[in-house]
Structure 1
Amino acid sequence: MRAWQHPQIPSVPGPSTAPWLHDTASDSLVEAKPTTVARLYVCGITPYDATHLGHANTYLAFDTLQRVWRDAGYRVHYAQNVTDVDDPLLERATATGVDWRDLAESQVDLFRSDMAALRIIPPDDFVAVTEVIDEIAAAVGQLVTAGMAYSVPTLDALHPGGADVYFDNAAAERLTAWRLGDESNLDRVRMLVLSAERGGDPDRPGKRDPLDPMLWRAARAGEPAWESEVGLGRPGWHIECSVIALKELGTDFTVQGGGADLIFPHHDMSAGHAAALSGHPLAGVYSHTGMVGYQGEKMSKSLGNLVLVSALLKQGADARAIRLALLAQHYRSDWTWTDAHLTIGTARLARWSAAFGADAVPGTATSSFVVGAVRTALVNDLDTPTALALLDRAALSGVSNPPLVAHAVDALLGIDL
């Protein structure tokens, strides 16, 4: 699947280092230092109602991470999936009378245009689930053969004798180094609640453990399905990311990223599937962004309280101002969007353009010092609010070399002045 156009990123003189990120698994700051290439996987969209500001907030955070790595001299290999077949997408297609493939295609196109407008660095591997059905089915078959998956009969399957295939968490714990909860740091009670809320089926009869996740869903009437070695059906949610990540990045990659709503069950289970398939950990760091709220609730498709990037752009908002509005919040914080955020971002863009842009008059602040301070802030857990505050102060006094600061703002924060 094609991604979108790569933005031009200028080179900025001066040294930098690998960033320190908060790791959910250890609940601590760790150095996200690649051995050679920085390998990053960020979970992609389920393509309906794309792209709201919660999406943009997540992809902007990991865009910033890529920029910090690149500034430190590392090459980046970035992979991202698109969950273009899943229950929420199928439900929306049915409700709106649109073919699920057409809905997915239109929303992926919108996502591409939104990401390009925001100057988000595209993934090197942009992979739709429907492109790797055979690989996913083979992985499920491997888990069955290894004794880490089992079948549960399904009365409503399209064909008699149909069965869903589930991952056996207990067997995986016996046979691998993975342990349920290692990546999420949650207790079992909380896991059961989140499983029910986030696509799991803890009350499903026939499962060996309520928390065992589905690997392969047997075909039902009216649902898309593929012939495979594990029967007619389609992939479960978590196994898709495990297979795509392993295929494109290999094991032990540098950072697994996504929104905080993916910590459990998605990232915990993806890590378990990957360990069971490869015998190695999935990633070194598990990094998660906070949730963006709107009108008193978390912004989500299910609630419908969405602020869409495309709608803001159609209303005349400058994509750079949207980007600045998001960067003003720390990537791990939960916060609520209001119109004031865009107003502040627009005003900041005007101040920076005047202070650092093509017509800027040199001032008193030493540009190399300002750039170094911004780098230090970003290396410290992608602290964009501090970076923006430093640049605000520099804009007041003016800087000795405005083009240097403008290049740094472009390279590190993605704002072309």
Structure 2
Amino acid sequence: MLRIYNTLTQEKDVFKPIKSRTVGMYVCGPTVYNYIHIGNARSIVAFDTIRRYFEYCGYQVNYISNFTDVDDKLINEAKEENSTVMDIANKYIEAYKEDVAALNVEPATVNPRATDNIDGIIQFVKELVDDGYAYAVDGDVYYRARKFNDYGHLSHQSVDDLESGASQHVSEEELSKKEDPIDFVLWKAAKPGEISWDSPWGKGRPGWHIECSVMSTKYLGNTIDIHGGGEDLKFPHHENERAQSEAKTGEKFVNYWMHNGFVTVGDENEKMSKSLGNFVTVHDIVKKVDPQVVRFLMSTTQYRRPIQYNETNLQAAENNLNKLRNAYNNLKYRLSDATDIIDMKLEQEIRQIQADFQDAMDDDFNAQNGIDCVYELAKLGNMYAQRPEVGKDTVNLIIEKLEKMASIFGVVFKEETLDDDSVQALIDERNEARKNKNFARSDEIRDQLRDQGIILEDTAQGTRFRRE
């Protein structure tokens, strides 16, 4: 029975989809004014891993993740680059797609853009104004947060505390426009020369929070199964989404609110962010580090826990990933001499590991316990591959389960093949040298191949190799 930690209830709630065997997920996407950094990628990978587990369990997942392609950051970036907001957005959307593909993230069902939904946003805001939940001042439109009785419940803060905090962080000009410091903007009046659209309140553009309410309800309906994002989005972004959506539709907005932990850096475990200037972009890191290693580090940590990004943890992830790769190649190698024998006891052990894996992942997607089961299966596979005689069906069963379970963490196995005749000739020559007890030449060939990144392993079934 799958249980999900729900930020709203602060408990692990049993998952019950709105539609049988179907999951509607909305995950807040990036503001596309720059390359995504590792902290952004944490959320992308975490929810891709969750999506993959749902699919592993047989669910159809409608996965929606937006692009915020108009806001102050894009406007400022366009000015700095002497470009347009749309050109900046298009540039970084393409970069985003390249970066997440490198991390083996499945494409979203839909990646809606805010600028493609302006009419829907204006209509949404208009209905809130008509119902008394919003008001216009000098071309801006604000939401009356206090009118929504449950405001603050998602982030578990009192309205009084929110009012005190807002009063300290809102400019005098904005405060003079608002009826209440905790009110938030739905539509922003455009400044001269800024990108804008016509609206009942004059030329302007959407506020940040409104776009997600419009696009999530457009593609998934008034009530959705899961809404996800980083821990920092609980307030104000998701709190405001919930308030404006439920005020407009009169229905529950989200059944399960999910938030992933931060990526931290440095000795002080400081949150990685662009504003702090301590970030590493995915665009840069995948040029230096195997993208699967970066993905593996993030996907094998339980999504609510923080991840410390450093060389030590990257190296540990690489070592663990290589253990799985080696186990896979060991098993593939043994297929060449496998027989028709059947090991029912071992196959029962394999299925028990699979059951343990599902129990772990059903507990709020506990990736750390889940990957331990994958390691256990790899260890079992290595031990079986060392037997003098192995059964083809048993070997294939281990390979099948290893591929399926590891794929949830973004792992794609590639069977090692020798496609270079000269390399094969060297291996054959080394085997002949060993047969003739010419160990000096044998060692020389081994070293030569190692320099090419090829590691030889002498087994009872013959010499095999793997690439570093």
Bin of the TM-score, shorter chain as denominator length = 0.7 to 0.9
How far did 1:304 drift? 2.0
Q: Quick one: structure 1 residues 204 and 197, their matched pair in 2 at CA, closer, same or farther if it must change by over 3 Å?
A: closer
Which stretch of structure 1 is more off in the superposition, 183-192 or 251-260? 183-192
4+ residue stretches of structure 1 with deviation over 4 A?
192-203, 360-365
2 CA distance for matches of 1:198 and 1:256?
27
Cα distance in 1 for partners of 2:10, 2:258 equals: 10
Aligned to 2:11: 28
CA displacement at 1:370 relative to structure 2: 2.0
1:324-354 per-position Cα deviation (integer Å, ceiling 9, x unaligned): 1112322111232101222112111211011
Q: Work out which of the residue numbers 44, 65, 70 in structure 2 matches 1:85.
A: 70
Aligned counterpart, 1:107: 92
TM-score, with structure 2 as normaliser: 0.77
Aligned to 1:9: none
CA distance in 2, matches of 1:223, 1:199: 22
Do the aligned partners of 2:85 and 2:195 also contact (CA within 8 Å) in 1?
no
Which of these residues, 255, 258, 280, is aligned with residue 226 of structure 2? 255
In structure 1, stretches of 5+ residues that fail to align are: 1-16, 154-162, 174-178
2:60 and 2:403 map into 1 onto residues whose CA distance is 19
The answer to whether structure 1 residue 64 and structure 2 residue 36 are counterparts is: no
Q: Which residue of 2 aligns with 1:413?
A: 409
Deviates more, 1:76-85 or 1:89-98: 89-98
Cα pair distance change 1:237/1:330, threshold 3 Å = same
Moved more, 400-409 or 98-107: 400-409
Matching residue within 83, 93, 101 for 1:116: 101
**Runs (5+) with no aligned partner, structure 2:** 336-342, 385-393, 414-468
Q: Show the counterpart of 1:404.
A: 400
In structure 1, what residue type is equivalent to 2:129? V
- Structure 2 counterpart of 1:367: 350
Identity, in percent, stands at 30
Alignment check: 8 A CA contact 2:353 2:376 kept: no
CA contact (8 A) 1:41 1:257 kept: yes
The structure, 1 or 2, with the larger RCO (C-alpha pairs under 8 Å, 6+ apart) is 1
8 Å CA contact 2:227–2:254 kept in 1: the answer is yes
Note the 1:281-360 alignment, pairs <5 A.
281-295=252-266, 296=268, 297-315=270-288, 317-357=289-329, 359=332
User: Cα distance, 1:192 vs. partner?
Assistant: 4.8
Amino acid at match of 1:326: M
Query: Aligned equivalents of 1:137 and 1:27: distance in 2?
Result: 34
TM-aligned CA deviation for residue 195 of structure 1: 5.4
Secondary structure of the structure 1 residue equivalent to 2:177: coil
Coordinate RMSD, CA, aligned: 2.4
Task: From the superposition, tell whether residues 201 and 44 of structure 1 become closer, same or farther in structure 2 (CA, over 3 Å).
Answer: farther
Query: Which of 35, 56, 63 is the equivalent residue of 1:50?
Result: 35
**How many equivalent pairs are there?**
385
Instruction: After superposing the two structures, state which structure 1 stretch, 351-360 or 137-146, moved more.
Output: 351-360
Check the 8 A contact 2:24/2:226 in 1, yes or no: yes
The structure having more radius of gyration, on CA atoms, is 2
Deviation of 1:100 after TM superposition, in Å, equals 2.3
User: Normalised by the size of structure 1, how large is the TM-score?
Assistant: 0.86
Deviation per CA, 1:81-100, whole angstroms, max 9, x where unpaired?
11100112222333344432
Name the structure where helix makes up a greater proportion of residues. Answer: 2
- C-alpha deviation, 1:164, in angstroms: 0.6
Aligned counterparts of 2:287 and 2:313: Cα–Cα separation in 1: 17
Change (3 A) 1:201 1:54: farther
Change in CA separation of 1:196 and 1:40 when aligned onto 2, cut-off 3 Å: farther
Q: Secondary structure at the match of 1:405?
A: helix
> How far off is 1:152 after superposition?
2.1
The whole-number CA distance in structure 1 between the counterparts of 2:158 and 2:234 is 13
Q: CA deviation at 1:381?
A: 0.8
